[in-house]
Amino acid sequence: MENHPKIVLGIALCLGLMTWGGCATGGHQRAMPGYTDKPGEQLVASHEKTAAKYQCQGTSVLVVEKAELQPSKVTPGQQLVSRIVYASCYTTSLKGKIIRKVIHNGETVIALPEDIEYRPGTWVLTAHIVIPLRAGSGGYILETKMQARALRLQETNTFEILRE
């Protein structure tokens, strides 16, 4: 039942967005090179390869390699694809949280907290975020916070909502 967390993530994101304006479909994007289009986790490199890349011997490191958001311009009802690629030198999983916030004019309009296990190795976390039909036009920020123990990492991406 390994796909269960992926299904729960997709449902949770959709349910979280329903309270702000509904889960509409449309605006399907192409997968970013090297990654699947499906929400959830995907192993990119084993712990051994990650340890060699980051010279992990005896260290506890969790680093964000990449934060991607596509597309950069959407209309209400379309879907954003958010990807965070992280590398963990820890030899066991690390329980924590990932919190995605959509911010417009300094105000949080969507908050999507999620419990997560940061696993050893390099992983990509993919989330789909559907833009509610009632979303206003303008510039938005997707803020992604990753937390585990005393670690705090933050990444931001910008996008624009256009009205047709």
**Helix H segments across the chain?**
4-18, 47-54
Do 126 and 38 contact (CB within 8 A), yes or no? yes
DSSP state of 32: P
Helix (H, G, I), strand (E, B) or coil at 11: helix
pLDDT computed for residue 16 by the predictor: 36
Superfamily of domain 4-161 in CATH is: Immunoglobulins (2.60.40.10)
Contacts of 29 (CB under 8 A, 6+ apart): 37, 70, 71, 79, 81
Q: What percent of the chain stands above pLDDT 90?
A: 68
Helix (H, G, I), strand (E, B) or coil at 52: helix
Residue 91's identity, in one-letter code, is: T
Q: Dihedrals φ, ψ of 128, to 5°?
A: -105, 135
- What would the pLDDT profile of 22-77 be if each residue is shown by its tens digit? 333 333 444 555 566 789 999 999 999 999 999 988 788 899 999 999 999 999 99
Domain locations in the chain as residue ranges = 4-161
pLDDT computed for residue 148 by the predictor: 94
CA distance 103 to 46: 34
pTM of the model: 0.77
pLDDT computed for residue 122 by the predictor: 97
Q: What angle do CA 104, 108, 114 make, to 5 degrees?
A: 130
CA distance 162 to 164: 6
